[in-house]
Amino acid sequence: MSRLTQSLKNFLAGSLGLAMLIVPAVADTIVIGHSQPDLGWPYIAAVTNALKEAVKGKDGVELITLSADSDIAKQSTDIATLVNRKVNVLLVTSLDGNAVIPALKLAHEAGIPILAVSNLPDEAGQNLLAGFSGPDDYTLGVIAAELMNEALGGKGAIAVVEGTPGQSTTRLLNEGFKDSLEKLKSEITIIGSQTADWNPVKAKDVAQAFLTTHGDKLMGVFGHDDILAAAAAEVFKSAGRSDIKVVGTGGTKNGLKAIRDGLMYGTMDQSPTTDAKQALELALQLANGETLAEKRYIIPMPKITAKNVDEFKGEW
Amino acid sequence: MTPTHLALSPLVVRLFIKPPLVPLIVIGCLIDGFLSFGNLRILAQSIGTDGIVVVGMTIVMISGGFDLSVGAVLAMGGVAAVTLLPHGILPAMIGAGAVGGIAGLLNGTFVTRLAINPFIATLAVMVMVRGATLAFTNTRPVVSLDDQFLHIGQGQPLPYSFMIMVAIMVTAHIVLNHRPWGRHAYAVGAEESASAMMGLRVRRIKTQCYLISGVLAGIAGFLLAARLGTGSPIIGETTALTAASAALIGGATLKGGEGSIAGAFVGLVFIGCLINIMNLIDVPSYYQRMTIGLILLALVISEGMLLRLRQR
């Protein structure tokens, strides 16, 4: 079915077809509930679609996806809704690592196994989980710091173009990055850090501000995702400062193109397909009453630089 | 041709046409899972905190104003509550109400003393409050997993937030309809200059309306923080829109002097049921927003048509 007819169908279901009945689930069907933060986030949208595709290949598996639209109260309601619908296993990508905990408790008390996907809730919620699958934001920060360290030969002044303040993603990227620099005994210092709200236009303003404030001192920039990083790199190029090493995260189409064009130094491959497939396999094990052998299943996230960029196709 | 008289009582219009709440609930009953107690509890949980904000928004709109700042104030109230929690539940709740009240007073002062348009004044306060909250928390959510606090965010059989919302709504309904202050608020919203000539203290009444809205938004923030165990500086981005939609669907207007708590409650339940039902039949969230926008538009248009029919 084409995307247009699909969206028309969805739209009709929303505005006119309220009377449409849902077909009661067949007894033997495994129902997977997936609560995720926002369908407008490219990676989340890519994982959600990959998960839908992966579920299509399995008989007797049904997937219910609820999107919190960046509202932590809605995510709490979404999880309660999934618990009430008695899903067999709950996949949660949390918007706020702490605010989901009361809702996770609800699911836990209802005896529903919980698999955290793509990010972890805060510590107090982690003992409620049956497991974790995905790339995690902290690890992304760690890898980004390794790339930056490589690029600058272990020393220099850098600045960070951040995602939206207050989100766990932003916080964990920063923590992973800083911890990793420390661990590497790197002499890289972070001299500036500003938010761009995941918005490439704002990222350009921030990059310009970094140039104005720090001038020649600035040797590298860490963008919280490829889109921010590529936007910042464009500013540096047009200011004649292509020597500034820019590192992003995600391995997106944008990021790969920026690496090929010589704008960015590096990023890492975070594949939504791998993420979704792994999550589905683990979810099915949990739904069948099995326990997972390990608590954490981090997907491989190979570094991408100009050397190996042609090996990756960029999925999102 | 005989003049068309709509022999519909306001109550019937409110429940069947604008908004079509009863038909929606009937449709809901056909959907598997809607009528279950668990689901209705979720519904009550999800409209409880918004409902408290709706009361404040309705009162401000009755007095001819508008309050864009409620979402930011809600976030600030939640942060204040969690910050003050080590001193006890009651100080946390009072603190949340107090910071909300301060924001409300600012709104009221800007609108009445400096004669700034309510949208602009409350927009300015919204941005300031949001900025102050982000600065105070250093952009991180403040966390409390205190059992007693979390307990307030739950509640059996119905969520406490819902019961508190009902209590606040009943009080507000009585004050607006049966106390002089309430009638004065309607009068100020409908005819400001006439009210002033009658000797009503217009600016004072308006400021009090904003104060109430701020306090209620702060308290809603407290309850939401209790539900999530988190005071988040970024919560409540869409609260002002949800609250205004409920008030508008419930008969309030941007001109002022109209609207009621009962109507706003119906509007709130209508939006809540609509979202709940769309979730149950797996409508993706973006289509949900489109649907709500379309329905809001349709209801406003239908209001205009009903009005013209009546006048004929």
Give the single-character DSSP code of A156.
E
- Cβ of B153 within 8 Å of Cβ of A102? The answer is yes
Collect the ranges in chain B with pLDDT lower than 70.
1-8, 310-312
CA dist A247 and A147 (Å) reads 7
Where along chain B do its domains lie? 10-311
Which ipTM score applies to this complex? 0.83
Q: How far is B252 from chain A (nearest CA, A)?
A: 24
A contacts of B273 (beta carbons < 8 Å):
none
On whether both A170 and A121 belong to a single domain, the answer is no
Confidence at A26, pLDDT banded by 50, 70, 90: very low
Q: Are A117 and A91 contacting, i.e. CB atoms less than 8 angstroms apart?
A: yes
- Domain hosting A114: range is 26-135+272-299
Q: Measure CB to CB from residue B141 to each of A81, A98, A164 and give the nearest one.
A: A98
Q: What phi and psi values does residue A155 have, to the nearest 5 degrees?
A: -150, 160
- Cβ of B45 within 8 Å of Cβ of A77? The answer is yes
| Strand blocks (E) in A27-149 | 30-36, 61-67, 89-92, 114-117, 131-134
The pLDDT assigned to A2 comes to 53
Distances (CA, A) of A278 to A29, A281, B88: 20, 5, 45
The pLDDT assigned to A118 comes to 85
Residues in chain A: 316
Instruction: Indicate the average pLDDT of chain A.
Output: 89
The pLDDT assigned to A1 comes to 45
List, in order, residues 6 or more apart from A267 with CB less than 8 Å away: A144, A147, A226, A229, A247, A248, A249, A250, A251, A252, A255, A256, A259, A303, A304
List, in order, residues 6 or more apart from B118 with CB less than 8 Å away: B60, B65, B66, B67, B107, B111
On whether both A81 and A199 belong to a single domain, the answer is no
B146: nearest CA partner in chain A: A102
Q: Considering only CA atoms, which of B77, B127, B105, B93 is closest in space to residue B212?
A: B105
On whether both A240 and A153 belong to a single domain, the answer is yes
A123 pLDDT higher than 90:
no
CA dist A77 and A83 (Å) reads 10
B contacts of A80 (beta carbons < 8 Å):
42, 45
- Cβ of A67 within 8 Å of Cβ of B285? The answer is yes
The pLDDT assigned to A243 comes to 94
CA dist B311 and B306 (Å) reads 9
Q: How far is B128 from chain A (nearest CA, A)?
A: 16
B298: nearest CA partner in chain A: A15
- Work out the number of other CB atoms within 10 angstroms of the CB of residue B203: 17
Helical (H) or strand (E) element with A221: strand A218-223
Q: Measure CB to CB from residue A77 to each of B46, B238, B278 and give the nearest one.
A: B46
Answer whether residue A7 is part of any domain: no
- Cβ of A81 within 8 Å of Cβ of B279? The answer is yes
The average pLDDT across A263-268 equals: 96
Q: A208-215, long-range: CB within 8 Å, 24+ apart, which pairs? A: A208/A235, A208/A239, A210/A159, A211/A235, A211/A236, A211/A239, A211/A241, A214/A157, A214/A159
CA dist A143 and A269 (Å) reads 10
- Cβ of B237 within 8 Å of Cβ of A164? The answer is no
Answer whether residue A11 is part of any domain: no
Three-state secondary structure call for residue A189? strand
The pLDDT assigned to B2 comes to 43
- The pLDDT tens digits of the residues spanning B110-127 come to 999 999 999 999 999 999
CA dist B93 and B84 (Å) reads 9
- A293 burial level (CB within 10 Å; 0-12, 13-18, 19+): exposed
On whether both A142 and A129 belong to a single domain, the answer is no
Residue B255 structure tokens: 């001109």
Answer whether residue A304 is part of any domain: no
Q: Are A207 and A237 contacting, i.e. CB atoms less than 8 angstroms apart?
A: no
Residues 11-40 of chain B whose Cβ lies under 8 A from any Cβ of chain A: 24, 27, 30-33, 36, 38-39
- Cβ of A14 within 8 Å of Cβ of B288? The answer is yes
Q: Measure CB to CB from residue B141 to each of A11, A96, A164 and give the nearest one.
A: A96
Distance of CA B110 to the CA centre of its chain: 21
CA dist B50 and B236 (Å) reads 9
Comparing B67 with A58, the larger pLDDT belongs to: B67
Best of A4, A41, A74, A96 to disrupt the B interface by mutation (most B CBs within 10 Å)?
A96
Q: Are A143 and A174 contacting, i.e. CB atoms less than 8 angstroms apart?
A: no
Q: Could you name the CATH architecture of B10-311?
A: Orthogonal Bundle (1.10)
pTM, whole model, 2 decimals?
A: 0.82
Q: Measure CB to CB from residue A165 to each of B39, B134, B238 and give the nearest one.
A: B134
Answer whether residue A305 is part of any domain: no
CA dist B113 and B116 (Å) reads 8
B contacts of A195 (beta carbons < 8 Å):
139
Between chain A and chain B, the number of residue pairs with CB atoms below 8 A apart is 131
B142: nearest CA partner in chain A: A98
Residue B257 structure tokens: 């002097």
The pLDDT assigned to A9 comes to 52
Determine which of A21-35, A163-177, B123-137 has the lowest per-residue pLDDT on average.
A21-35
On whether both A162 and A116 belong to a single domain, the answer is no
The pLDDT assigned to A17 comes to 41
CA dist B103 and B76 (Å) reads 10
Residue A41 structure tokens: 């986030």
The pLDDT assigned to A304 comes to 96
Sign of CA dihedral A160, A163, A165, A168: negative
Strands of the sheet with A30-36, listed across from one edge = A61-67, A30-36, A89-92, A114-117, A131-134, A296-298
B contacts of A65 (beta carbons < 8 Å):
282, 284
CATH of the domain at A191: 3.40.50.2300
A67: nearest CA partner in chain B: B285
- The pLDDT tens digits of the residues spanning A209-248 come to 999 999 999 999 999 999 999 999 999 999 999 999 999 9
Q: Are B52 and B177 contacting, i.e. CB atoms less than 8 angstroms apart?
A: no
On whether both A48 and A119 belong to a single domain, the answer is yes
B227 vs A: CB within 8 A = yes
CA dist B143 and B145 (Å) reads 7
Answer whether residue A8 is part of any domain: no
Residues 266-295 of chain B whose Cβ lies under 8 A from any Cβ of chain A: 276-291, 294-295
- The stretches of A153-271 forming alpha helices (DSSP H) are 168-183, 200-214, 226-238, 253-260
B contacts of A19 (beta carbons < 8 Å):
27, 30
CA dist B223 and A273 (Å) reads 39
Q: Considering only CA atoms, which of A175, A253, A159, A259 is closest in space to residue A214?
A: A159
List, in order, residues 6 or more apart from B191 with CB less than 8 Å away: B257
A contacts of B235 (beta carbons < 8 Å):
71-73
Instruction: Quote the number of domains for chain A.
Output: 2
